[in-house]
């Protein structure tokens, strides 16, 4: 990839040690550095032991961006740099970050431990009971993040300004679009429904929180029986349910994608809603169902915008499932969810037409299936309430 720069491991570790020394107020040396990432990845990730001049040792993870365009002084640094987003998020929530070198694009993070399992391991290799327990802990972790960071916009921006220097901030949210899918398949959804979805992102109201943005199973470590979220490179203030829908819609940003049986997902939903409801009471009300349907529609349109063009030409495999199979499932899920919640009737009709067209074009494509841990519980898709 031409947009990646070469990094010298010794230089990165020296700057990381200097940053941690400044943060700790005493001399730190790194021992036994072990690169964990491949050369073509966007970050250099290294595990090491940080030893101070008292002989105390702290296990750490050093992350350095390989982005050739990394510029912490850029006006749009928060929008364009995953390392900047991770730095701000981890400082804001007070989790994992030990030190950093903004100029060099280096973070020093807490190492939660070697040989830890992550959620993907359980979903792919565990039993149904183990997978449900892990997903329940995962939902609890997300609810904790969302509850802790409710109404985070002002303090989040203040955190960025304190670390990287004050500069103008853009409004949150983005325009929800359907042009790509309409150009390819027709059947435009009503403009007022797209405007409604845009408004839910630009002004989430009581649902505003720091969202992880890439809450994938391999970003969910199991530490002492509980899930710890890592890798906040896509974290940003937005609508909490952008994360809170992941186990329902099938982990849309993840190589490890799969469905969770309705009965299991309902129990996980209940855990998430109870925990979030302590801070956001609407999570315990019927309004939750409409909000989940809105965010499901946002994910559907995002994924179609990103993937449909290439998928119409060929069926690439991403991780453990095909792109076409994922898109068919997103359509099925959104049709069922919007119908059950009684919202977005126009988009529901458009999705029905898109699904019919794609099924006829892709007759051999299998929609996204259950995670292996739940394979024995596979059942037909039903339009049950979330």
201-243 pLDDT, tens digit each: 999 999 999 999 999 999 999 999 999 999 999 999 999 999 9
- Which pLDDT score is estimated for 343? 98
User: Where does the pLDDT of residue 249 fall: very low under 50, low under 70, confident under 90, or very high at 90 and above?
Assistant: very high
Residue 19 in domain: yes
* CATH number for the domain harbouring residue 25: 3.30.200
Domain boundary among 63, 80, 110: 110
Residue 1 in domain: no
Report whether pLDDT(379) > 60: no
Arithmetic mean of pLDDT, 347-368: 98
Domain count within the chain:
2
**Measured between alpha carbons, how far is 14 from 307 in angstroms, rounded to an integer?**
41
- Which pLDDT score is estimated for 296? 98
Kindly provide the residue ranges of all beta strands, DSSP E only, lying in the chain, ordered along the sequence.
28-35, 43-52, 57-65, 97-101, 106-110, 208-211, 220-223, 226-229, 236-239, 317-318, 321-322
- Residue in the structure block whose two tokens are 């490890």: 256
Count Cα atoms within 13 angstroms, Cβ side, for 296.
31
Verify that 16 and 86 share a domain, yes or no: yes
Q: Phi-psi bin for 163: left (phi > 0), alpha (psi -120 to 50), beta?
A: alpha
Residue 384 in domain: no
Report whether pLDDT(1) > 90: no
- Which pLDDT score is estimated for 377? 67
CA distances from 280 to 209, 238, 274, 287 (A): 10, 14, 10, 11
DSSP 308: H
Q: 270 is in which domain, residue-wise?
A: 119-377
Residue 77 in domain: yes
Verify that 78 and 180 share a domain, yes or no: no
Residue 4 in domain: no
Verify that 49 and 160 share a domain, yes or no: no
- Residue in the structure block whose two tokens are 């992550």: 118
- Which pLDDT score is estimated for 3? 84
Verify that 221 and 294 share a domain, yes or no: yes
Verify that 98 and 51 share a domain, yes or no: yes
Report whether pLDDT(385) > 50: no
Mean pLDDT of the chain: 95
pLDDT one-digit tens code per residue, 258-304: 999 999 999 999 999 999 999 999 999 999 999 999 999 999 999 99
CB atoms closer than 10 angstroms to residue 127: 12
Verify that 226 and 339 share a domain, yes or no: yes
Q: Which residues contact 286 (CB under 8 A, 6 or more apart)?
A: none
Verify that 287 and 222 share a domain, yes or no: yes
Residue 89 in domain: yes
User: Where does the pLDDT of residue 378 fall: very low under 50, low under 70, confident under 90, or very high at 90 and above?
Assistant: low
Verify that 86 and 196 share a domain, yes or no: no
* CATH number for the domain harbouring residue 175: 3.90.1200
End-to-end CA distance of the chain: 41
Report whether pLDDT(382) > 50: no
Residue 98 in domain: yes
Domain boundary among 84, 110, 136: 110
DSSP 187: -
Domain boundary among 110, 133, 159: 110
Verify that 237 and 327 share a domain, yes or no: yes
Report whether pLDDT(62) > 90: yes
In sign, the C-alpha dihedral spanning 240, 242, 246, 248 is positive
Arithmetic mean of pLDDT, 191-196: 98
Verify that 224 and 259 share a domain, yes or no: yes
User: Where does the pLDDT of residue 386 fall: very low under 50, low under 70, confident under 90, or very high at 90 and above?
Assistant: very low
- Which pLDDT score is estimated for 67? 94
CB 327 within 8 A of CB 307: yes
Verify that 240 and 160 share a domain, yes or no: yes
% of the chain surpassing 70 pLDDT: 97
- Which pLDDT score is estimated for 376? 75
Verify that 106 and 150 share a domain, yes or no: no
Residue 386 in domain: no
Query: What backbone phi and psi angles, to 5 degrees, belong to 381?
Result: -70, 135
Higher pLDDT, 197 or 385: 197
């Amino acid at each position: 990839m031409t947009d990646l720069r070469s990094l010298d491991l010794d230089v990165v570790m020296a700057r990381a040690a200097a940053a941690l020394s400044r943060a700790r107020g005493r001399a730190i040396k790194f021992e036994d550095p072990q690169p964990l990432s491949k050369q073509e990845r966007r970050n250099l990730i290294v595990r090491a032991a940080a030893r101070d001049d008292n002989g105390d040792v702290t296990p750490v993870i050093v992350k350095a961006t390989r982005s050739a365009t990394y510029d912490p002084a850029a006006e749009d640094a928060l929008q364009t740099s995953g390392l900047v987003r991770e730095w701000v998020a981890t400082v804001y929530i007070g989790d994992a970050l030990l030190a950093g070198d903004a100029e060099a694009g280096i973070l020093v993070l807490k190492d939660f431990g070697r040989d830890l399992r992550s959620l993907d391991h359980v979903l792919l290799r565990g039993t149904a009971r183990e997978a449900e327990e892990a997903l329940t802990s995962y939902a609890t972790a997300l609810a904790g993040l969302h509850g802790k960071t409710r109404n985070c916009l002002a303090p989040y921006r203040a955190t960025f300004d304190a670390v990287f220097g004050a500069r103008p901030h853009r409004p949150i949210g983005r325009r929800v679009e359907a042009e790509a899918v309409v150009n390819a398949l027709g059947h435009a959804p009503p403009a007022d429904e797209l405007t409604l979805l845009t408004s839910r992102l630009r002004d989430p109201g009581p649902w505003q929180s720091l969202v992880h943005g890439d809450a994938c199973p391999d970003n969910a470590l199991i530490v002492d029986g509980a899930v710890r979220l890592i890798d906040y490179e896509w974290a940003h203030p937005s609508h909490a349910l952008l994360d809170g829908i992941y186990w329902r819609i099938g982990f849309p940003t993840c190589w490890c994608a799969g469905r969770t049986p309705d009965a299991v997902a309902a129990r996980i939903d209940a855990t998430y809603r109870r925990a979030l409801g302590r801070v956001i009471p609407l999570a315990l009300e019927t309004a939750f169902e409409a909000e989940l349907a809105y965010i499901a529609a946002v994910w559907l349109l995002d994924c179609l915008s990103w993937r449909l063009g290439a998928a119409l030409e060929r069926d690439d495999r991403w991780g453990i499932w095909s792109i076409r199979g994922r898109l068919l499932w997103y359509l099925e899920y959104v049709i069922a969810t919007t119908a059950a919640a009684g919202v977005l009737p126009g988009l529901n009709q458009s999705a029905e037409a898109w699904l019919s067209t794609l099924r006829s074009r892709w007759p051999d494509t299998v929609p996204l299936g259950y995670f292996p841990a739940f394979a024995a519980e596979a059942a037909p898709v039903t339009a049950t309430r979330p």
